[in-house]
Amino acid sequence: MVQSLQELFARRDLLYMIAWREIRIRYKQSVMGFMWAILLPAVIVSAGIIVRYGMSVMSGKPISGQEIAGITVKGLVWAFFAGSLRFSSTSLIGNPNLVTKIYMPREIFPLASILSQLLDFGVAAGIVLIVFIGARLGASWQLLWVPVLLFITIALATGWALILSAACLFFRDVKYLVEVIITFAIFITPVFYDVEMFKKWADLLMLNPLAPLIEGFNSTIVYGRSPDLPWLAYSSIIAFVSLVLGFYLFKRWEPSFAESI
Amino acid sequence: MAADIVLQVSNVSKKFVRGEIHDSLRDLIPAMAARLSGRSRPSNAKKDFWALQNVSFELTRGEAFGIIGSNGAGKSTILKLITGIMKPTSGHITVTGKLSALIEVGAGFHPDLTGRENIYLNGTILGMKKAEIDRKFDAIVEFSGLADFIDTPVKRYSTGMYARLGFSVAAHVDPDILIVDEVLSVGDVVFQNRCLERMNTILRSGATVIFVSHNLRAIAELCPRSILLEHGKVTAAGPSQLVMDTYLEHAGAESRQITAKEVGITRVKVRRSNADSVAYESGEKIWVDVDVDCKGPCEPFSVVLFLNDEKQYESFHTSTEYLGCQPIAMKPGDRFSCTFELDLNLAGGTFYLGVELFRFNNEELLHVMYPAQTIFVNTLTEVRGVVNPHPKVTAFELVRPAEPTKEAIKR
């Protein structure tokens, strides 16, 4: 395992290059170019605002600016996480030539997908940041949690991405399964709603390891409150275990990639 | 072990499992359920296919080494094992130093990116650092001769240009061990010569070169020592000339008939547009029909067509895969047929046509029919050798300085 990590580190240039290729092609092939980076998050955020507006009409409570800000933050994180899984799961089967003809640490492909999604996320987050500053949303020391939360989110996405990319290579129908699960997972992830709304059932929703992270982003950025620490610890453990297990399984399966693709 | 051994392959075997490989959950879950309930008993023994068996050899620093073998002998498999793309089933491979393979030139090129971008991309894939590519960039562009097109997306390149750019990048990697797998057949003659020169330079700089081919002449020119692979086993090793003699002897003796198991060629017919024949004029267009029957479950394969001359030298080979067709996936009971069209630009003589069913993925030869048909080629004008480039004499003029005339002498 240590040896594999050393090898991966030695080929980090390649990781950047493959990520750069993915970004470059995506922006080259479409007229919209960088608009892609904000299209998907924009759609998710708009959908969330519509849903919340509907809820506020039903309950008679007017929708607050903070709620809209919260949906924006959550929508961005969700778009990054879902995009990472979606693109990384097909990253190996999308490069059959490189997998069968040339030797390289293959985990570079899913990692590059995540890296390229991270760039899109950065672009969208930059725009949101400008809007938030314009809207004079207050800052607090709790913002220091953001890099930690982001790091755990990336670790969780990477762990799952490694397993899914290999699973898609061995079983062709896994990629459809991934699509279906991502589409429906938004219902069990607190993107359009907050877990607090569910009172005594809130803990059940927090079992989704992404939920404490998304709620964490929301409370630190929008409300200036610290994240729910026990639940954050729970997510961190799941993320760490996923990452280690994902890397271990990926490396174990890697020798048969070239024969199975 | 001597310090100068850079590659050691000891007792390497590679097994491919074929047959019931489930590549979707839709197939796997019912199969597992059936197995759990004990309704079906897996019988894996006969589904194994050994692509390589107990292969051993060593290379010392600075050596040029050839690997000879016909299709399906396991050449590509041994290369994939050496480069680390696959792992051997048993045995060990020890590589000392940086290894670079020209197996697939231009792998990782993306059609939408420009030549410049692809040089960086491909160079990094082949193991160069960015600073190293920066340094060598001009040399790579100059070597490829594509300076004018370097900012054009490679999808606008011709096949030749594509291969030239790919080779140019690969040739500048500076490896300790270079593996070359019949890529020299790309590009025009000038470029091919430049490639050979470059390989010689790499050799002189102290690198080790492994050259894999069934082009015997190329091996003879470059490599003093080689091994012969046949059906996954090393059947001869030593000085290239001796190894080649063995190869030719075997190719002549054994008619390379493999009995059809799951799939078999049922018919090979060579014909003109209207009638079949065995005697053709050089330059004539001919068609080769191949029919294949499937009796048992098999994995996708391609049809290989080759032609050998009287001395069993290969005149050419091609395949449905090279010509851009998808591998053929057949189910028991299916029939498949395909037709190759050829311009018979051969010199006069006797040629033997062979057809193979070949699985490129794991180099498995499913069925060979050789010689499937003997072809006699007549030339209107006499051309000797293997090919008929339809030579003509378009200028024929003797110029002699005018002999001094008698008047001139008198004067």
**Do the chains contact at B125 and A258, CB–CB below 8 Å?**
no
Rounded Cα–Cα distance for residues A76 and A80 (Å): 6
How many Cα atoms occupy the beta-carbon half-sphere of B309 within 13 Å?
A: 13
**Do the chains contact at B87 and A102, CB–CB below 8 Å?**
no
Q: In what order do the strands lie in the sheet with B90-95?
A: B48-60, B5-17, B90-95
For residue B80, the chain A residue with the least C-alpha distance is A101
Q: Which residues pair with B301 in a beta bridge?
A: B328
The SS3 call for residue B394 is coil
Query: Is A168 near chain B, with CB under 8 Å?
Result: no
What is the ipTM for the molecules in this complex? 0.82
Rounded Cα–Cα distance for residues B104 and B121 (Å): 15
Rounded Cα–Cα distance for residues A156 and A198 (Å): 25
pLDDT at B339: 92
Query: Is B321 near chain A, with CB under 8 Å?
Result: no
**Do the chains contact at B26 and A173, CB–CB below 8 Å?**
yes
Query: Is B24 near chain A, with CB under 8 Å?
Result: yes
Q: Which positions 339-398 of B are in contact with A (Cβ < 8 Å)? A: 361-362
Q: Report whether the peptide linkage leading into residue B153 is cis, meaning its omega lies within 30 degrees of zero.
A: no
Residue whose C-alpha is closest to residue B284's, from B369, B356, B375: B375
Number of other residues whose CB lies within 10 A of the CB of residue B363: 23
For residue A172, the chain B residue with the least C-alpha distance is B24
pLDDT at B1: 46
Instruction: List the domains of chain B with CATH numbers.
Output: 60-83+95-251 (3.40.50.300), 263-378 (2.70.50.60)
**Do the chains contact at B23 and A11, CB–CB below 8 Å?**
no
Query: Which residues in chain B are closer than 8 Å to A97, comparing Cβ atoms?
Result: 104, 107-108
Each residue of A190-221: pLDDT tens digit?
Answer: 998 888 888 888 888 899 999 999 999 999 99
**Do the chains contact at A102 and B16, CB–CB below 8 Å?**
no
pLDDT at A176: 92
For residue A102, the chain B residue with the least C-alpha distance is B85
Task: Quickly state the pLDDT bin for A156 (edges 50, 70, 90).
Answer: very high
Please state, rounded to an integer, the average pLDDT across all residues of chain A.
89
Cα–Cα distance list, B69 to B215, B221, B236, B245, B260 (Å):
9, 17, 10, 12, 21
CB < 8 Å & 24+ apart, contacts of A136-142 = A137/A69, A137/A222, A138/A224, A139/A224, A140/A220, A140/A224, A142/A219, A142/A220, A142/A221, A142/A224, A142/A225, A142/A226
Query: Which residues in chain A are closer than 8 Å to B80, comparing Cβ atoms?
Result: 258
pLDDT at B171: 80
- For chain A, which residues make up each domain, given as ranges? 2-260
Tell me the whole-structure pTM to 2 decimals.
Answer: 0.74
Q: Spell out the per-residue pLDDT of chain B, length 411, in tens.
A: 456 888 999 999 998 876 556 677 777 787 777 777 765 555 544 567 888 999 999 998 888 899 988 777 888 889 889 988 888 999 999 988 888 877 666 677 888 889 999 999 989 988 888 999 999 999 999 988 889 999 999 888 887 788 788 888 888 888 888 888 765 555 566 666 777 777 778 888 888 888 887 666 667 777 889 999 888 899 889 888 888 878 777 765 544 445 557 888 888 888 887 777 777 888 888 999 999 988 888 888 999 999 888 767 788 889 998 888 888 988 888 899 999 999 988 888 778 888 988 888 777 888 888 777 778 788 777 777 778 888 888 888 888 887 766 666 665
Q: What counts of helices (H) and strands (E) characterise chain A?
A: 12, 0
